[in-house]
Each structure stands twice: as structure tokens, then as C-alpha cells.
């Protein structure tokens, strides 16, 4: 950072950045959790319909 900025201002800046980033990470984890739940719902529905997802994945890998 700029040498003209006091140490206290630099500390405040970095603490504020960490607080903001921690909140962003929290929100990202919430989104990831929702996406995972939705994916599991679709997997379950496909399995109930008789779709073998492992077999499908193996065939695509060939």
C-alpha cells in the first residue's frame, strides 16, 4: 500500500477486506449448497425413472 497511508488505515483496510471476503465466501457456500441439493434431486429422479447414471458416464468416457 501507499507509504503515505497510516498504519491504522492500512490495518482497517485489510480488516474490512477480510470481513467482506468472508461474507462473500459464506454466500458462495450457500449457493453451492443449493446447487448440490438441486443436482441430487435430479439424480434421484433419474434413478427413479430407471436411468443408470454410472453406466451413462462410462459410455461417454469411451
Number of other CB atoms surrounding residue 4 within 10 Å: 6
CA distances (Å), origin 6, targets 19, 37, 44? 20, 47, 57
Global confidence as pTM: 0.69
What number is the average pLDDT over the span 10-35?
99
Render pLDDT for 38-58 as a digit per residue (tens, 0 to 9): 999 999 999 999 999 988 888
Q: What share of the chain has pLDDT > 70, as a percent?
A: 95
Q: Can you tell me the distance from the alpha carbon of 17 to that of 14, in angstroms, rounded to the nearest whole number?
A: 5
Amino acid at each position: 500500500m501507499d507509504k503515505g497511508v497510516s498504519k491504522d488505515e492500512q490495518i482497517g483496510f485489510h480488516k474490512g477486506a477480510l470481513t467482506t471476503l468472508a461474507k462473500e465466501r459464506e454466500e458462495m457456500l450457500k449457493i453451492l449448497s443449493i446447487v448440490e441439493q438441486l443436482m441430487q434431486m435430479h439424480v434421484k429422479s433419474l434413478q427413479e425413472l430407471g436411468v443408470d447414471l454410472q453406466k451413462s458416464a462410462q459410455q461417454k468416457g469411451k
